[in-house]
Each structure stands twice: as structure tokens, then as C-alpha cells.
Structure 1
Amino acid sequence: MSFRYESLDELDPVGIEVQLTAIQASLLEQSALVDVRRLDAGSYRLLPNGRVGAVRFDDLQIEVTPKQKLGVAHLLFLLGYAKDRVFRPETVMGETYDDLWPAMAQSLVASVERALTTGLLQGYRTEQEALLTVRGRIAFEDQLRRRPGSVVPIEVRYDEFSPDIAENQILLAAIHLMLGVPRIPSETRRQLLHLAARFAGVTRLLPGTPAPRWQPTRLNDRYHSALSLAEILLRHSSTRVSARGVEMSAFVVVMWKVFEDFVTVALADALSGCPGRLEAQLPAYLTGDGDWSAGRTGAADDPHGDISMNVDVVHRDEAGVPDVIFDAKYKLASSTGSNANADHYQMLAYCTALQVRVAWLIYAGGGSDIRRRIKNTDVEIVAAPINLRRPPREVLARISQIALAAVHKSAGRPATPSDGRHSLRGGLGLRSPGR
């Protein structure tokens, strides 16, 4: 049986025509990777819908590639950094494999092997069971509820030093997920099987089971990178299994959300320690009587507003007054033709509602900053590109440059980190690893 590979760009307005069985078309629709439109018997047109990734059947792979052909390493870096900042992009074998699945599988192998260099991590976990003798502590409430008047067996709780902990369960689940992907190179599959065998005594999570929580500590530091990659795979991947085996494996991400989350976290890190604070997804009204110049917070200040908005990221000065707006645009409307001015209309509305004089449109692309003054207003809108194909350090440095330039311009003074009086991470409600 020959293997077919079909690829389309996420910005392709025409799509591609492919031959699919009714079952394959149904599974592809369920994955939500593309819009599936039937043409005639067995023939379908696939159109991108803002998502990228790959869906693999036994004899067919459909892949939607990011614009400007971002590599696997770049994509996983954006996903990993937005989640917990400990993801190390050098663990991704994006330069070795062009195909998404082998790249992710081999990256997982390399990352887990590094994590297990000094052996399987173990930790204490609380167990409860009924025993004939006391071990640990007696669970009196459970004993009275389950066995009133009985002396034995005794409900006890005790701590056991075991490899069956959250960190190992997550890694093992990711390994089995990749083992379920068809047509993984035989050597990579052999390595995955060898790694799975090293997790003896670890509970295998059932497909669809939420990953257990873990906390970063000094003891599990060597696991951090592997756990970040494993959680990315578990969060965005799925497999569909039938009686005859694996029917479909899918890895699907929504690129505008990935970019927005990444920019929000990177801005928070760039401005951490600077005067003021950052707020993400700030609710506001375009109509109403609220006065943001008084440093009020939240849409509740405009009880009469009837046109609501959520502003991506807003920087407030030390008095709590909004002074800079940031908006992450993975794809600028100006590149789509029909709504060429939509982004600037949106930024003008934000600035008007919040009484802010400058807004930054941060978008994925190349080139230089473009500053535009809105006619008959004091509002300035800056379109600032970020080249996501550059190495991660350069991407983060570029966002830091944008953030500090924006705050510097609005405050009229150098925007260098201060004594850290304001924690932006807390203000954004950003999560730590595994939470």
C-alpha cells in the first residue's frame, strides 16, 4: 500500500483537491485541521481554517504548514514558552526531519533520554488501603464510616517512595501517544519502546485522561524540558483507535491563539520589574460613561456601555492609568485585501475607549516598524513585526525591544527594569509549570 502526503499552506485561499474515503473525510472533519468540502463521489476540497498541524491515517497524511514555513522547532518553542518558560527549543529535532511526526517523536526520545540520564525520578505519594496492621496513620473518619464497630481491617494512610508519580506518568503517556502514530521510523519506534520499558511501576494514563499536576522543584529540574514537550504533545495531539488498530493521529494548533499567548507572556517577561503593570484581555466598553483617566479597572466602570471589547494587553502606569496598548496579530488584516484597514480601526477604538495615545500592533512577519498618526487625533499606531523564523533568543530580544520602546515613549523616560516593585506575572495570572 503506497503512502500519500498532501500539504497546504495555512494562507492558501484555493486549497487542494484530494481523494478520501467517507470515513477519512469524517475523521478529518473531526480533527478540525481543515475545512472539508465534498466535490463529488470520493473527491473533496481541503481549505485551511486558521489551524496548523498534521493528520495521519494508515496510508495518508494531511499537513497544514505555518506561514513562512516555520520549522517544527519554532512552532514548539512558541507553544512551550507560552506555557511555562522552561521549554528548551534545542531539544526539538526540527532540522533533522521535515515531517512533523518524526520530528516530534525523535525530539521526545532525545528529551526523555536526557531526563533519565541519572535514572528514573522517584517521589513520595500518599496511599490509603485497609490493612491488618497499622502502617503510617490511621484514617479514623474512613474507618468509622466504612467499618463502624470493627477493629480490623484498619484504614490507614502512608507515604510510599515510588516512581509512580505525576512526572513519570506524563512522560509515559506522551511516549505511548507517539507509539500510536502510524509510520513513525522503525528506529524511533524502537527507541520509544525501550524508553517505555524503563518506566516500570508507573501507571499508564488512559487516553483522554487529564495530565496530573506537577510542581517544578530542584529535585525534578532535569525533567523540566521533557515534561514541557510531553505536555505540548498531550495537549494538542490525539489518536483515534478502532478494532483494526489506529485509524488517525492528529496534532492541531490554532496559530492566532498560539501567537497571542506567546506575545502576552513574552511582554510580561520583558517588562517585569519596570514601573507599572500589565493586564491581559482587559474588558472595556466603547460606549458608556466610565473615565479611565481616574485609573479605574474593569468594564464594570462603564455600567451603561453596550459595545464591549477585550483588549489583548494593556500597560498601566504607576498611578494605574492605561498608557500603552499592545495587540498581537498573527496575520495583519492589511495583508488580506478586503479588510485592509480593520486592524487600525480596532486600535483606534481601543485607544479612544481607554484614552490611550499609542497602540502597538505586534504581528508575525519581517521588515521594520511602521508608525502611523491617525488624522485629527493624538493617536499613534505602530505596526511592529516579529520574524518567528529567527532563533528563539532573537525572537525574545525583539519583543523586549518593542516592549521597552513602547513604555519608554509613553513615559518619556528610559524604560529600564526597576527594583521589581510590580510583578507583571501575577497581574496577568500566568501559570507556573504543571498548573
Structure 2
Amino acid sequence: MSREIVLDELQGYTEPVELDREVAATLRDTGLVSVVPAHGGAWTILPAGKVGAVQIGELLVRVKPKEKVGLNRLLFLLGYAADPGFRPNNVIGSEDEDLFAALGESLARHGERALERGPLNGYVSVEEALRTVKGRIRVGDQVSRRPGQLLPLEVSYDDYTADVAENQILRGAIRMMMQVPRLSDPLLGRLAHLDSKLEGVSVLNHGAALPVWTESRINGHYVPALRLSEIILRSMSAEAGTGHRMVASFVVNMATVFEDFVATALKEALEPYPGLTEWQYEAFLDEAEPGFRSSDRVRMFVDVVHCVNGRPALIFDAKYKAASASGAYPNADHYQMLAYCTALGVPRAWLVYAGRGEPRVRRIRNAGVSVVEFPLDLSQEPEALLAGVVELAKLAFFVANQDPDSTSART
């Protein structure tokens, strides 16, 4: 009998539930939730700082983001952080639909479009030992591997084949999706049909680095399927668990997703302005002292720093945190921004939060430093969300070139 447990990312209490001990251990190992023993053999399940879904046999556990970010928006944030060309229409399914069913349906539809004209073919470099000459003889390898032997020959040549990076990625995602329990038989049939079209394409090893591909006119019809496939392969796992139950999990850290998205979107938004944008900008809080190594200094890594003429001009830091009931954010964030501004000699830092509201400026006493709290509403449509980042970049660059004593984020 199927069973579903739905949690909010910030949920602090849940009623204990009855679970098989092996299921409880498997669920805990996914990292989506914490699972601790409760009274009477029951278990308490609480969010563990991640969002996503885990399917263990007939049990489905979902953790929803705090900002009511639906499936399409979540995958947009994930995809855009890896590739600014990603758009939410790469995912097909309603916001409240079962995550695995929506992912499977999206992959099937995009895969069908990609393979409508048959698998993509391309040239790949092959090195192997043959008894006849094909391509170029690798003399160095022949001498070192087969001294004094004429056959077989170590050769290299270009082969026109379907075993290219695009098909390997697509087949890897299809194979993984086919292992998800409780997908409908019609959907599994469509995925199996797509897999058969890719017969002879290498199957990627679980956890291996994804092969590199470049968007072009030739593979343009593959791109939506490839972008979705890469998200599936990076964020999802599907395998047999304890007790021979099939386990599928799609688990992401929303703090990391938000920080990566803001960094990517800011870099894009700041491109029209003079200067260079750097991620995880390395700096030191303390002065260098004679006789001391840099490893002894207080090192800092700032999320995003925009430098003009080689000097830091704009500082941004993304925080996926919840505001208090009064709308305030943690004091530690402002201490951190004060340290960044002091060390880099910049009078203003921009704290980018996931949430609703208007920008707010806090002037730090006796320091000549201001910290701007700039919220980004993740429930917005992607176009509006990206427009918010463009506004942030424009505002930050404008204010940085105005009166340094200005106290308004919008002056």
C-alpha cells in the first residue's frame, strides 16, 4: 500500500510514524531527513537542511522548500546555476505533481523529441590494437607495448558513431529513471523504448564525471533533453536498497542552489559594466606580518566580488535563510559583511536573501560601512526573478558611483 509523508523545509515538529527498521535506516542514509527513534518503536522524521524526495518501495517522503518553490522553479534554479541558458519549460509537469513522475514524464517527452530523427552521430577518436592498418599507427605505443612485434598494430582513428557524449548522458538519465519505483507502466514503456533506440551507446558508471558536450547547430534539438538529463544525473540516485527494495532519491541543498544561482545570475547581470566579476573571492581579514606564512592569516572567501581596475568595488553575499517574525535577519550576517567591507576597503555590501520584501539599508555605527539587505522572491516567474538580479546589479553599480554617504539603497 502506497504511503506519502510531506514535510516543509523549516518544519520543527512532526508526529512519530511507524517504519520498518531497514526502511528507517535507508531513509536516514539519503540525507534528505533525520530519522530518530521515538516511543513505542515509532520514528520521528524531520527535515535535515535539504529538499527533494525519496521513494523507498511504496513509501514516498517529500521535503518542500521554505519559499513554496515548486518543481519547475526548483529545477530552473538548479539548471540556471549550471547553465544560464536553462529555462523552466525544460520540465513538464504541474508544481504539485509527484516529483519523480514529473521528472520521468519530462525526460520521456524531451527524449522522444531528441530521438525523433534517430540518435545523434558524430566523430570520436578511437585508440585500439588491430591486425590491419586503420588511421594512424601510434609508433611510440607500438614500440613501448609490443617491442619487436609487427602485429597487432597500435592505431588511432576517427570513428563516426552514435557513442557520443550527448547520447551517453541521455541514456544514463533514462537508465536511472527506469529504476525509480512506482512509475506508471506506460511511462516505463516509453523510457524503455528510448533506451532501445540508444542500443550500443556506452552506459555511464554511477558517480562518474559526465562527458563534456558543446551546444551547436547539430545537437540543438538535443539540448532540452541534455540539460534535464544532467540535473537528473547530478542530483538523483536510484538503486536497490536493503531488503531488495528499490530506492530513488532526488536531494538538493537549497542553500547551495540559491548561492550558485545568485552567483551565476549576478555574473551575467554585471557583464555590461566595467570590471570583472569573481566568485569565492579570496581575501584576508588581517594584515600580512613579516615572518608569518599566508596559511597563518585569517582567510575569507566572499561569494561574489566585482572588481574595477583590479580593485574590489562591489561585494555580494547570498544567504538562504528565513527572516524572523519581525522581518529581521541573523546578526552574524551583518558582522560578516562588516568584516568583508573592512578588509576589502569597500563601503557597502549587499546581502541577497531568499524572500519577499523591499531592500533595506543598515548603516554600521562608527564604521562608515552600510549593509543592504536585498530580498529575491523565489516564487516569482523565472523572467521576473532574473529581472530582480539585473535590478540588483544596476542599483549596486549606480550607488557605488554616487555619494559614499548615501543611506538609501534606491538613491
Answer whether TM exceeds 0.5 for this pair: yes
How far apart, in 2, do the equivalents of 1:180 and 1:125 lie?
A: 30
Structure 1 position 46 matched with structure 2 position 45: yes
326-335 or 367-376, larger mean C-alpha shift: 326-335
Distance 1:62 1:278 in 2: 40
Distance change >3 Å, CA 134–CA 384, structure 1 → 2: same
Note the 1:182-193 alignment, pairs <5 A.
182-193=181-192
CA–CA distance in structure 2, aligned partners of residues 52 and 83 of structure 1: 18
Secondary structure at 2:214's aligned position in 1? coil
Q: CA distance change for structure 1 residues 389 and 242 in 2, over 3 Å: closer, same or farther?
A: closer
- Kindly state the Cα deviation for residue 147 of structure 1 after the two structures are TM-superposed: 2.7
Instruction: Judge conservation of contact 1:71–1:94 (CA < 8 Å) in 2.
Output: no
Matches within 5 A, 1:307-322: 307-317=298-308, 319-322=309-312
Q: Which runs of structure 2 are paired with 1:205-284 in the superposition (5 Å)? A: 205-241=204-240, 245-284=244-283
Are the equivalent residues in 1 in contact too, given 2:32–2:251 (CA < 8 A)?
Answer: yes
**Cα 1:149–1:43 shift into 2, 3 Å:** same
Change in CA separation of 1:146 and 1:15 when aligned onto 2, cut-off 3 Å: same
Query: Among residues 351, 354, 357, which one is paired with 1:361 in the alignment?
Result: 351
CA drift of 1:71 comes to 0.9
**Cα deviation 1:252-276 (Å, max 9, x = unaligned):** 1011000000000000000113112
Conserved? CA contact 1:106–1:188, under 8 Å: yes
Q: What is the 5 A alignment of 1:187-202?
A: 187-202=186-201
Greater Cα offset, 93-102 or 251-260 = 93-102
Report SS of the residue matched to 2:107: helix
Number of residue equivalences = 401
Cα–Cα, structure 1 residues 172 and 241, in superposed 2: closer, same or farther, change >3 Å? same
Amino acid at match of 1:187: P
State the partner residue of 1:7.
Answer: 6
Letter matched to residue 396 of structure 2 = A
Greater alpha carbon shift after TM alignment, 68-77 vs 238-247: 238-247
Q: Secondary structure at the match of 1:17?
A: coil
Aligned partners of 1:289 and 1:304 also within 8 Å:
no
Q: Partner of 1:68: helix, strand, or coil?
A: coil
Identity %: 44
Aligned partners of 1:139 and 1:157 also within 8 Å? yes
After superposition, the C-alpha distances for 1:109-128 in whole angstroms (9 at most, x for unaligned) are 12222222333110111223
Partner amino acid, structure 1, of 2:258: F
Q: Deviations over 1:295-334 (max 9, x none)?
A: xxxxxx99597433221111222x3222221110111465
Displacement of 1:149 after TM fit?
2.2
CA distance in 2, matches of 1:16, 1:121: 51
Shift in alpha-carbon separation, 1:305–1:204, aligned structure 2, 3 A: closer
Please give the secondary structure, in 2, of the residue aligned with 1:309: strand
The 3 A distance-change label for structure 1 pair 392 and 218 is: same
Separation in 2 of the partners of 1:213 and 1:21?
42
Q: 2:177, 2:238 within 8 Å by CA — same for their partners in 1?
A: no
CA distance in 2, matches of 1:341, 1:243: 44
Residue 156 (structure 1) shift: 2.0
CA contact (8 A) 2:241 2:247 kept: no
> Cα gap change, 1:61/1:384 in structure 2, threshold over 3 Å: closer, same or farther?
same
What are the residue-to-residue correspondences of 1:342-357 with 2, within 5 Å?
342-357=332-347
Partner of 2:167: 168
Mark the runs of 5 or more structure 2 residues left unpaired by the alignment.
Answer: 404-411
CA distance in 2, matches of 1:56, 1:326: 38
- Taking the TM superposition and a 5 Å limit, the aligned residue runs for 1:289-304 are 303=294
> CA 1:20–1:337 in 2, change beyond 3 Å: closer, same or farther?
farther
Residues in 2 aligned to 1:339 and 1:243: alpha-carbon distance in whole angstroms: 42
Equivalences for residues 29-428 of structure 1 within 5 A? 29-40=28-39, 42-95=41-94, 98-241=97-240, 245-288=244-287, 303=294, 306-317=297-308, 319-332=309-322, 334=324, 340-412=330-402
**Most deviating of 328-337 and 194-203:** 328-337
Instruction: Classify 1:397/1:284 alpha carbon distance in 2 versus 1 (closer, same or farther; 3 Å).
Output: same
Shift in alpha-carbon separation, 1:304–1:33, aligned structure 2, 3 A: closer
What are the Cα deviations for residues 4-46 of structure 1, in whole angstroms up to 9, with x where unaligned?
1001011112245222222112212211111221114541112
Deviates more, 1:70-79 or 1:195-204: 195-204
- Verify the 8 A CA contact 2:26 2:242 in the aligned structure 1: no
Alignment partners' CA distance in 2, 1:112 and 1:283: 42
Alpha-carbon separation, structure 2, partners of 1:316 and 1:177: 43
1:363 maps to amino acid: Y
- TM-score, structure 1 length as denominator? 0.86
Check conservation: 1:139, 1:155, Cα contact below 8 A. yes
Q: How far is the alpha carbon of 1:406 from its aligned partner?
A: 0.3
How far apart in 1 are the matches of 2:112 and 2:68?
A: 29
Deviations 1:357-384 (A, max 9, x none): 1111111111211122222332222111
- Counterpart Cα distance in 2 of 1:352 and 1:43: 52
C-alpha separation between the residues in 1 aligned to 2:282 and 2:323?
Answer: 22
Q: Specify whether residues 243 and 342 from structure 1 end up closer, same or farther in structure 2 by C-alpha distance, changes over 3 A only.
A: closer
Whole-angstrom distance in 1 between the partners of 2:17 and 2:30? 17
Instruction: Give unmatched runs, 5+ long, in structure 1.
Output: 291-300, 414-435
Shift of 1:246: 4.6
Distance of 1:171 and 1:342 partners within structure 2: 44
Q: Distance in 2 between matches of 1:285 and 1:334?
A: 31
Question: For residues 190-229 of structure 1, what are the alpha-carbon distances to aligned partners after superposition, in whole Å with 9 as ceiling and x for unaligned?
Answer: 2111111111221222333332222333322222221111
Alpha-carbon spacing, 1:361–1:133, altered in 2? closer, same or farther (3 Å) = same
User: Alpha carbon RMSD of aligned pairs, Å?
Assistant: 2.4
Paired letter, 2:321 = K
CA distance in 2, matches of 1:285, 1:340: 23
Q: CA deviation at 1:241?
A: 1.4
